[in-house]
Amino acid sequence: MRMAATSWQRLTEAFPPPRAPLPAVDWPAVERSLGRQLPADYKRFVQTYGYARFADFLSVFLPASPYDYVELRTQWQIAADKIEFWLEWDEVGTPELPVDPHLLLPVAGTDNGNTVYWVARPPDDPDAWTLAVDEARSDGWHLFGAGIVDFLVATFIDHEPISVFPTLTGQTLAGEALTGQALTEEGP
């Protein structure tokens, strides 16, 4: 699916980006180092917001960071190990994953341990990628039929329930976003 212009407008209205321009990201170099192209909505998001954390819960991974917990390449390596474990575990009868695990590439994570993955299908059209979110402490999954910007809008503006995210007695995830913070050795 393609990112609707209204999703971007809604995100920037609800969570204003930083006023100061962020350093430019060399996207061709990033994509060469990762060995694949990335979705346009993700690139626009990172270039506009830099580090962003929503509702003190979810962080979007960055193409470069001194902190492994938000660095995209590190999270891809961690995911590769997780996927290898899932595949080995599957041989002894665990529930089947909802998508081919080789298509999963992490794009965001939560303090609860959930990972938001791109479902890289088709591999040569990243703007068509959808999302899958794992349940941190169980075998559950939540599939989302659009990209990261639409997911952020659905989750943090429209308050659509994400079945694998925690609920607090009926409350939805809401709150402010910490955005535009450069992650440096001094912290956000």
> pLDDT per residue over 128-142, tens digit each?
999 999 987 777 899
Predicted pLDDT of residue 165? 87
> pLDDT per residue over 23-73, tens digit each?
899 999 999 999 999 999 999 999 999 988 888 899 999 998 888 889 998
Residue pair 118/107 in contact (Cβ under 8 Å)? The answer is yes
Predicted pLDDT of residue 2? 55
pLDDT band at 184 (very low <50, low <70, confident <90, very high): very low
Predicted pLDDT of residue 95? 57
Query: Which CATH number is 5-161's, of 3.40.1580.10, 1.10.240.10, 3.30.565.10, 1.10.10.10?
Result: 3.40.1580.10
Q: Mean pLDDT lowest for which of 72-76, 98-102, 172-176? A: 172-176
**Six-digit token string for 20:** 């100061």
pLDDT band at 108 (very low <50, low <70, confident <90, very high): very high
Instruction: Report, in angstroms and rounded to the nearest whole number, the Rg of the chain calculated over CA atoms.
Output: 16
Structural domain boundaries in the chain: 5-161
Predicted pLDDT of residue 65? 85
Q: What's the CA angle centered on 63, arms 62 and 67, to 5 degrees?
A: 60
Residue pair 72/34 in contact (Cβ under 8 Å)? The answer is yes
Mean pLDDT of 169-178: 47
Predicted pLDDT of residue 45? 95
Residue 7 has pLDDT above 70, yes or no: yes
- Cα–Cα distance, 175 to 155 (Å, whole number): 11
Predicted pLDDT of residue 81? 85
- Cα–Cα distance, 126 to 40 (Å, whole number): 8
